[in-house]
Structure 1
Amino acid sequence: MKVFLKLGWFFKERKYQYTVGLFMLVLVAILQLVPPKIIGFTIDEIGTRTLTKAGLFKWLAIIIGVAIAMYILRYYWRQMIFGSSNLLARILREKLHRHFTQMSPSFYQKNRVGDLMAHATNDISAVQQTAGGGVLTLFDSLTTGGFVILAMAITIDWRLTLIALIPMPLVALSTSYYGKLLHERFRHAQAAFSDLNDKTQESISGMKVLKTFGQQQQDVADFTKLSDEVVEKNMRVAKVDSLFDPTISFVVGLSFMLSLGFGTKFILEDAMTVGDLVTFTTYLSILIWPMLAIGMLFNIVERGSVSYDRIERILNTPIEIDDKLDAIEENPSGDLLFNVKSFTFPGDAAPTLRDVHFELKRGETLGIVGKTGAGKTSILKLLLREFEGYEGTIQFGAHNINDYRKSALRQAIGYVPQDHFLFSATLYSNIAFANPRASMEEVRAAAALANIDEDIMSFTDGYDTIVGERGVSLSGGQKQRISIARALLMKPELLILDDSLSAVDARTEEAILHALKEERKNATTIITSHRLSAIQQAHIIIVVDEGTIIEKGTHEQLMALEGSYYEMYQLQQLENLVEQGGDHDGE
């Protein structure tokens, strides 16, 4: 029952709704005692031949009135209690989603997407059921059971009531034992569902790769194995769950047997009437629900407890990169000073970056080149404050980037990553993502700078074309240019292109770079690229190898050194000549 204490914050927020709803439940519990009593009176009057037509109609009118009152009360308590539980689900979903948006990349390296989705769906559903059905079964079982037992003891016979309750301790002992088993098994079942959820998400996202390599059958086999594990673990839960009702039915059967046996004895002794025994057994049948509710309660509460613990674990995961209390609200602008002596990714043994220093004046362009894994993207991740814990400083304008609010820093940076993510929405919505109120003219201007406007206008629906999930309906070059347009629409102080021109041809690349040079004369740009043609015109070029800068200068200066940059340039020139020669031979 600890989960109710953990949810105390919510019950306080909704105390009015829960108080009114539970008060209505009490009224229903009292009103449902009336019909059995009337039935007993009627039977006794029939037995003594004193029942009149007017008396019968009176009893029927009372029963109908009670039924109408219970109908109304049950309608409204459901709105109060179940309506509140729906609100709890919404609050938890929003908390989780807000928490997800604040977490750093290391969080997503440790937690699988499918598992996080399970927290936001199955786990929240179980907690919602606790705040709705759990509260109902707890309070209704106590009130209904309590009032029924009092009615049996006070209005009929206290001795028979005690006799009927003799088997009841079996319910408490058995349900307590079943509850412990249920808690442990449901925890394993939820974990198995998370694994299945993760597998499903991964398979759907990687369907093109699966088909390309012909691994559909193996993937189905892996999915089936995980699905079987989910079924097996849920069957273990169901086996415990299925013990509640038979156990309670057995106990109720014992109570009925004792009640009928001793009730008959009391009638023969004139200690009670036949109508009293009928009323007593009717009350006893009403008592079945509170006992069944106890079994349901353990089921609901244990599921909710496990799920709430899982949700709390995620929500209690500290935000690794957070704003200072006095963080600067205004967007940064000005020169960029990068001075990092050492940086190591969480969990890595060796440093990723070592002695990386450069200064970039406002309006200048920095080119970063290097082999795959050299550390180019790592530099950008530090600039974006995706990671901290480095030795050194990064200054943007007059302040350290850690002094700005994260939102202010990132509003000043237009970032186009290597992995171009597009939403399943219109092309207009994708480009206007950072500024949903942008006019069509502004969106088209940004698209023109990215050299994608003509492509979009060639589509049947133009900017209203719906993009498939992650942009599956577009070519790699189109996705890159749409991502660039999205960043340009922000008019960022700092534009970062992280190998974002790799999928476009040389002519398109040249057009984009020329447009950026004209448009962003007073704004700073950083370009990382394997293709040196993308960064030849940069004011500063740094060559990164094994996490450190091995060469720095302009294109001309680096060519004069005849070092790594020179070798890369000569190799790419040779590759271009080979490609051109191949094309010539094939004509």
Structure 2
Amino acid sequence: MSIFKKLGWYFKAEWKTYLFGLLGLLITALLAVIPPRMIGVIVDLIHGHQLTVRLLITDLLILLAAAVGQYGSRYMWRTAIWGAAAKLEKTLRQRLFGHYMTMDQTFYQKYRTGDLMARATNDLQAIQRVAGGGILQFADSIITGGTTLIAMMTLVNWRLTLIAVLPFPLLAVMAYYLGQKINVAFRDSQAAFSRLNNKAQESISGVKVIKSLGQEKEDIADFNQQVDETINVNRRVNRLDALFDPITTLIIALAYVATIVMGGSLVVSHVITIGNLVSFITYLSMMIWPIFAVGMLFNTMERGNASYDRVMHLINEQSQVVDQAQGKKERPAGDLTFNVKQFNYPDDPQVALKNVHFTIPAGKTLGIVGRVGAGKTTIMRLLLRQFEQYQGRISYGDTNILDYQLDSYLPAIGYVPQDSFLFSESVRDNIAFAKPDASDREVEQAVLDADLASQIDQLENGYDTLVGEEGVSLSGGQRQRVAIARALLIKPELLILDDALSAVDAETESQILGNLHRERAGKTTIIAAHRLSSVMQADEIIVMDHGMITERGNHNQLMAQGGWYQQMFQRQELEMRVRGVKNEK
């Protein structure tokens, strides 16, 4: 019964709705007592040759009234109980989705997408069944079972009732024993489903890579193996689940045997009439549902209990990024100062950044270059407040960025990563995502700045072309430029391009950078890149290596230092010349 205690907060909030539903169940149960009694009366009248047309019509009208009353009371409890269950599912879905939206990068590194989806679907449905079917099974087994037992004892014979229900305690023992095993088995089942969901999600997302490397058969084999593992886990759940019905049927059969033997004896000895026996057997058949409901109840509760724990485990996860409720609401502006003594990613002993210090005056451009894994993207993540546990201080306009409210701070930043995510909407909707009320003129200007206009004109439906899931219908360069246009549309105080020009050619890169220099006069820009031509015009360039700044200065100063920057620039320039000679041939 622990799941009912865990959901007590909801039952307290919706007690009026559930009380209305329980009242409907009670009325239904009381009206259900009438037909068996009337059938017994009619049988006795027939047996005594006393049945008249008038009595038959009266009895049939009573049966009809009971049926109509049951129709109304059933509608009453169904709308209340199932409606409340649906409301609980809605509440938990909104709460869980809202929690997903507030969690930090660490959370999504810890949990895989397929697992999160499984908890938001299968687990929530299992919890919803507790608030709907579970309440019905619990209350109806008591109300219907109780009223039927009372009718059997008062309207027929109490001794016969005691004999008939004698096997019922066996059901409680069976339910307790199997319930504990089902709880453990169902936890394993949900975990297996999460793993299978992960596999399916990754395979579908990575289908291009799978097909390009010719790994279809291997991936299918791996998927089939996980399917087999999931089926094997579910078989144990089904085996335990399947034990309920046979045992319940056996208990009911024992009750019928006792009824026939004892009831027949009472009829012969004229203690009860044959009509009473018919009524009793009918009442006994009405006990089948409460008995089955008890078995189903334990199943529903154990499944719901396991699922509730899985969902609450996610909801109880705390984000390490704290939004200050009383934080600064103004849009950040001014100089950006980055002073970080040391930063480690959570649960990673390796230092990601060490003694990284720089200041970007308002309206200037900073270039960040270095080898793969040197710490460029880590700087961006700290600026975006994806991680806040670092030694040091990052200030924007003389205010610690941690003192800003996230809703004020983040909208002032336009961020374009190397792999930009696009929604399966139109080109226009993807660009206007950050500013849904943007006018067509604003969208078109952002497109011009991203040097994307000619590309959109070539698309079949122009701005209304659907880009497909994650922009699958666009090239890498087109996706990057859509993301750049999306960032420029909000006219950010700080624009961060994290290797966001890697998929475009040199000519397009030059055009985009020229547009940014012209359109973003007076606004701060950070460009992280592997291709050094992207940062040549930056006011300052820093070279990162193993999380530290090893060189800094503008392009000419770095070339004069003769370090990594000069060597890499000359190598890339030579590669461009060689590529140009090959293209001429």
TM-score of the superposed pair, with normalisation by structure 1:
0.98
Contact kept? 2:498, 2:529, Cα under 8 Å? yes
Q: Mapping of 1:61-76 within 5 angstroms?
A: 61-76=61-76
1:219 corresponds to 2:219: yes
Deviation at 1:12, TM superposition (A): 2.0
Deviation at 1:230, TM superposition (A): 1.3
Deviation at 1:34, TM superposition (A): 0.3
Contact kept? 2:42, 2:51, Cα under 8 Å? yes
Q: 1:270 aligns to what?
A: 270
- Using the TM superposition, name which of 71-80 and 491-500 deviates more: 71-80
1:563 corresponds to 2:563: yes
Contact kept? 2:452, 2:481, Cα under 8 Å? yes
**What letter matches 2:177 in structure 1?**
Y
Aligned with 1:352: secondary structure? strand
Contact kept? 2:343, 2:352, Cα under 8 Å? yes
**What letter matches 2:27 in structure 1?**
L
Q: Mapping of 1:369-518 within 5 angstroms?
A: 369-518=369-518
Deviation at 1:408, TM superposition (A): 1.5
Q: How far apart, CA to CA, are the structure 1 residues paired with 2:396 and 2:66?
A: 74
Q: Mapping of 1:572-587 within 5 angstroms?
A: 572-584=572-584, 586=585
Deviation at 1:368, TM superposition (A): 0.2
Deviation at 1:583, TM superposition (A): 2.1
- Using the TM superposition, name which of 195-204 and 295-304 deviates more: 295-304
CA-to-partner distance for each residue in 1:527-564, whole Å, 9 max, x for gaps?
Answer: 00111111111111100011000111111111121111
Q: 1:177 aligns to what?
A: 177
Deviation at 1:259, TM superposition (A): 1.1
CA-to-partner distance for each residue in 1:184-232, whole Å, 9 max, x for gaps?
Answer: 1111111100000000000000000001111100100111011111111
Q: How far apart, CA to CA, are the structure 1 residues paired with 2:79 and 2:166?
A: 37
1:8 corresponds to 2:8: yes
Q: 2:43 aligns to what?
A: 43
- Using the TM superposition, name which of 29-38 and 448-457 deviates more: 448-457
Q: How far apart, CA to CA, are the structure 1 residues paired with 2:275 and 2:398?
A: 91
**What letter matches 2:3 in structure 1?**
V
Contact kept? 2:340, 2:391, Cα under 8 Å? yes
Q: How far apart, CA to CA, are the structure 2 residues paired with 1:150 and 1:100?
A: 51
Contact kept? 2:325, 2:405, Cα under 8 Å? no
Q: Mapping of 1:526-565 within 5 angstroms?
A: 526-565=526-565
Q: 2:199 aligns to what?
A: 199
Deviation at 1:76, TM superposition (A): 2.7
Deviation at 1:345, TM superposition (A): 0.7
Deviation at 1:143, TM superposition (A): 0.4
**What letter matches 1:511 in structure 2?**
Q
Deviation at 1:496, TM superposition (A): 0.2
Aligned with 1:180: secondary structure? helix
- Using the TM superposition, name which of 473-482 and 88-97 deviates more: 88-97
Deviation at 1:250, TM superposition (A): 0.5
**What letter matches 1:472 in structure 2?**
V
Q: 1:318 aligns to what?
A: 318
Q: 2:366 aligns to what?
A: 366
Contact kept? 2:17, 2:81, Cα under 8 Å? yes
- Using the TM superposition, name which of 309-318 and 435-444 deviates more: 435-444
**What letter matches 1:9 in structure 2?**
W
Q: Mapping of 1:36-435 within 5 angstroms?
A: 36-435=36-435
Residue segments in structure 2 that go unaligned for 5+ positions in a row: none
Aligned with 1:347: secondary structure? coil
CA-to-partner distance for each residue in 1:486-522, whole Å, 9 max, x for gaps?
Answer: 0000111100000000111111111111111111111
Q: 1:520 aligns to what?
A: 520
Aligned with 2:286: secondary structure? helix
Residue segments in structure 1 that go unaligned for 5+ positions in a row: none
**What letter matches 1:435 in structure 2?**
K
Q: How far apart, CA to CA, are the structure 1 residues paired with 2:458 and 2:423?
A: 20
Aligned with 1:369: secondary structure? strand
TM-score of the superposed pair, with normalisation by structure 2:
0.99
Aligned with 2:521: secondary structure? coil
- Using the TM superposition, name which of 32-41 and 450-459 deviates more: 450-459
Aligned with 2:369: secondary structure? strand
Q: How far apart, CA to CA, are the structure 1 residues paired with 2:76 and 2:266?
A: 42
Contact kept? 2:337, 2:360, Cα under 8 Å? yes
**What letter matches 1:178 in structure 2?**
L
Deviation at 1:48, TM superposition (A): 1.4
**What letter matches 2:507 in structure 1?**
R
Deviation at 1:21, TM superposition (A): 1.0
**What letter matches 2:511 in structure 1?**
A
Deviation at 1:154, TM superposition (A): 1.5
Q: How far apart, CA to CA, are the structure 1 residues paired with 2:539 and 2:13?
A: 58
Q: 1:29 aligns to what?
A: 29
Aligned with 2:243: secondary structure? helix
Q: How many residues align structurally?
A: 585
Contact kept? 2:196, 2:226, Cα under 8 Å? yes
Q: How far apart, CA to CA, are the structure 1 residues paired with 2:348 and 2:393?
A: 21
Q: How far apart, CA to CA, are the structure 2 residues paired with 1:77 and 1:439?
A: 51
- Using the TM superposition, name which of 406-415 and 203-212 deviates more: 406-415
List 4+ stretches of structure 1 deviating above 4 A: none
Deviation at 1:46, TM superposition (A): 1.1
Deviation at 1:241, TM superposition (A): 0.8
Aligned with 1:211: secondary structure? helix
Deviation at 1:365, TM superposition (A): 0.4
**What letter matches 1:561 in structure 2?**
Q
Q: How far apart, CA to CA, are the structure 1 residues paired with 2:418 and 2:103?
A: 20
CA-to-partner distance for each residue in 1:14-59, whole Å, 9 max, x for gaps?
Answer: 2221111111011001100100000011111111112110110111
Contact kept? 2:24, 2:73, Cα under 8 Å? yes
Percent identical across equivalent pairs? 49
Contact kept? 2:367, 2:528, Cα under 8 Å? yes
Aligned with 1:432: secondary structure? helix
Aligned with 1:51: secondary structure? coil
CA-to-partner distance for each residue in 1:433-490, whole Å, 9 max, x for gaps?
Answer: 0111111111111011000022112212111001110111111100000000000001
Q: How far apart, CA to CA, are the structure 1 residues paired with 2:350 and 2:509?
A: 36
Aligned with 1:481: secondary structure? helix
Q: How far apart, CA to CA, are the structure 2 residues paired with 1:426 and 1:27?
A: 55
Aligned with 2:415: secondary structure? strand
Deviation at 1:324, TM superposition (A): 2.2
**What letter matches 2:81 in structure 1?**
I
